[in-house]
Structure 1
Amino acid sequence: QGYHPSQPTGVTVKCDDGSWSLQGTPTTTEELCLPTCRDPCRNGGTCTKPGICTCTRSYYGSLCEKKKCLKSIPVMQHGDTGMNATYSGWLQCSKGYRVEGTEGSTASITCVAGEWLLAETRSRAVSGSCAPHCSVACKNGGRCVGPDRCECPTAFFGVVCENDACMEDPPAVAHGAFNGSDFYTPRTLQCHSGYHPASAASVACVDAAWRMQYTKLVLITTTQ
């Protein structure tokens, strides 16, 4: 039971000069009965015992129907990984990071068709699978680039890109200038040699316009 003849038409033996000899092929008795696997082994697998397939290196499963993940789970840039069993593992993202596409910091990883996939999203497990998390969403097209850190478009600034940036330099000041080069950081007044501020003064960008922090200094639009 569990074996079948190696030849569809059967095998015969013949008594010749007082000894039995096999007719045709196979030529040895070890090849007469072969193990039977009810379902054929796949992907180059071989039926080596009744109902048991021996698979090639790249496949596994009762019928060799599953492709192995021959490479290790990728090393994560902002997280740790480990194995639960031969073809499953886990991902733990670092503090301030979440599994990409989810709100959680942990995920199961499984081998599917030769690739490591995140079980929850069925997306590939890659080195960047742990994405930075901003507890308050970045606004105005801003992008979360680190834990609670937004990268803002040119026209906006602020912790979550909530403020409109000033797109031009502050008005000119007679005998001085406001130091700075960007359009959102407050700028302080620097007087020319021989002059001093009438009062401590700086300007800050508020609602896309430069506004005086102190009102004693008068801004004019021409220099002398």
Structure 2
Amino acid sequence: MAPNKVNVVYSTLLLIFTLVTICNSYVPTPRPNLSVSFTGPKKPNPPGPGICTLEVPTIDLLTEADKRGPIPVGNGTKPGHSIIQICCSGWKPKPHVALKCEPVCENGCVNGNCTAPNVCTCLPGNIRDLGNNCVPTCPKSCLNGICTLQGKCSCSVGYVPDPKEQYCIPSCIGGCGNGGNCTAPNVCSCSTGFTKHMVTGKCNFNCVGGCPTGTQCVGPNECSCPTGFVKRNNACEPMCPKGCVNGICTGPNTCTCQPGWNLDTTGTTCQAYCSQPCLNADCTAPNTCTCRKGYIKDPSPSAANRCLAHCPGGCLNGQCSAPNFCICNPGFVKAPGSSDCVRRVRRSSRSLHMELIPEQLE
């Protein structure tokens, strides 16, 4: 073979080897299960499963010696860039096979095949358990038990059959509560945001630092008041939506009156109590009578519960019987156009008829 042809073949093989090496080593690190984004105007069809394309600076594809010479134009959509094939996120280069990628199962794939990123397909004779693992089942074997002649699992002490009776799962008497999983006989493992109760061993919601007085931990780091309460000033207070006038809301829809007050029939208003009835007045506070409009307090010390009618102008020769209304004393009458009472003028019941008297008598 001519020397020039040998050099051409050698250069071609060297370029292919370089590209394969870059493909196998250039693995992106975006979030799992996300493919590398394409930068070209059109997304080409990948040549195989798990293979994506990436646009990189062309100079990164050259050896140190080639970087000192002219930089090739490249086949990228931007000047000085080239498109290469790499393994997509969730895939890795297949050992000893060029331009082939295989899926990655981060937690392994025992008794199964990793058929897609973090997807484990169980082998025949195996079944997926509650932890998403492939475990052997009858007639091959029975996890945490033995296979019977009927092809079902007979569980060991502390284990019970799964709903399909294909393997045995640990049993926790009384359950594991919120956010708990029974991982061994009577052993609960709590999920993130939950904590194990020291006495019952069950998992409950965990609120770091605890909850304010009266509140309850209803979720991971979530404090809430019970039904019928509302959170105010970092504490739970009862609610009385129907009202609690002159009283104190001591519980959900529970109005409590203070001493000297009585709850009315609606259960929403506290009414003042006066030991003596209020005359012409209203009981506005315990043993406190407030005069109605047009009335004033009786000045007598023994009549604190009584109010008298008030006539601003007074009642001369009479009595104030209602607000601004006078009744005249006996022998007095109302003066025309006035509220004053004046003495009644007496007139003779008989009058002389002069026309009937004879003239001679004169």
- Higher-Rg structure is 2
Shared fold (TM-score, shorter chain, > 0.5): no
- Give the alignment's TM-score, normalised by structure 1: 0.31
Structure having greater relative contact order (Cα 8 Å, sep ≥ 6):
1
